[in-house]
Amino acid sequence: MTSYSSQCIKALNSDGTIRAVGLQATELVNEVAIRHGLVGEYAKRLGEALIGGLMLSTYMKKGNRVNLNIKTTQGPVGQIFVDATPDGNVRGYIVKGDGQEPVKEGLGPWGEGILSVLRSKDVEQKEPFIGTVPLITGHFAKDLTFYWHQSEQVPSAVGLHIEVSENPERPIKSAGGFLMQALPGANEDVLKDLEQHIDNFGDIALEMAENSNPKELLPYIFKDTGYSLLEETPLTSICSCSIEKVSRAFSLLPMKDIDEMIQNKESPETKCEFCGTLYQLSLEDLKKIKS
């Protein structure tokens, strides 16, 4: 499935010291929420994680990917997984936290937990980068900002806005976000300007979520500073699952288990957590795994 009405823009200020990323993701988040049958706070939490994953993927090389694993200990959400690529494709799913403690007073809706980010490298750099930080505020935008400061030492400001409904046919009214980062060489004045933008990020994120053309907001973002629009990328949610990948996963099982399935003429089923597609291996598929 594809959501070309959702898009990501990248821009750079005139002296190359501030990069900005804007995402209008209403249709994309709607698509994923509907796929998983989510409404209300569940749809909102997954939507924030999807946008966060896309933000993280924007400075990666083509062919790489980023995985988010967000595990909470409080509130209705137990865990969220997101997989995103720099070409604007993202997928994700949520594990509900049945029986968890309520969110502590003073924290945001995410409560306490852990945010882990795994960024894959090029083929010649096989070791992935893994960064892990605690959720310290319970507000995902602030905790994502903390991740960039703590794990990657990049001064950043993040804004997210998602408005939800209880309509299962359209659970997301609007969704968007914005990222600004100081690049190497930025002086103190640039950093101070970035800090001042943080106070206005709620409004910027709201405008980004509700504006169908995020490019119109760039003059507001950069104010009196010149800038260049670097890239416009349509956002998609296309799952990479396949029967071939399912077969490869089953091939990792002990051969005695495969033999038992063949003897019992079983047709094992498995479902993709990201998109819900159900795969069933035939007897012939099992025999190919064994051969």
Q: What is the pLDDT along the chain (291 residues), one digit of tens a residue?
A: 444 489 999 999 888 888 999 999 999 999 999 999 999 999 999 999 999 999 999 988 888 999 999 999 999 999 999 999 999 999 999 999 988 999 999 999 999 999 999 988 655 556 778 899 999 999 999 999 999 999 888 888 898 999 999 899 999 999 999 998 988 877 767 666 666 665 666 677 888 888 888 888 888 788 777 899 999 999 999 999 999 999 999 999 999 999 999 999 899 999 999 999 999 999 999 999 987
How many residues belong to the chain? 291
Contacts for 8 with CB less than 8 Å, ≥ 6 apart: 21, 22, 23, 54, 58, 88, 231, 232, 233, 235
Predicted local distance difference test score (pLDDT) of residue 45: 97
CATH topology of domain 2-236: Hsp33 domain (3.55.30)
Predicted local distance difference test score (pLDDT) of residue 209: 86
In order of 242, 253, 267, 279, 288, the CA distances from 284 in angstroms are: 17, 17, 10, 14, 6
Predicted local distance difference test score (pLDDT) of residue 1: 43
How many other β-carbons are positioned within 10 Å of the β-carbon of residue 204?
23
β partners of residue 283: none
Residue with tokens 């009214």: 173
DSSP assignment letter at 74: B
Predicted local distance difference test score (pLDDT) of residue 2: 41
pTM listed for this prediction: 0.91
- Structural contact between residues 82 and 65, judged by C-beta atoms closer than 8 angstroms: no
CA 96 to chain centre: 17
Q: Options 3.90.1280.10, 3.40.50.2300, 1.10.3720.10, 3.40.30.10; which CATH number does 243-290 get? A: 3.90.1280.10
For the chain, what are the domain ranges? 2-236, 243-290
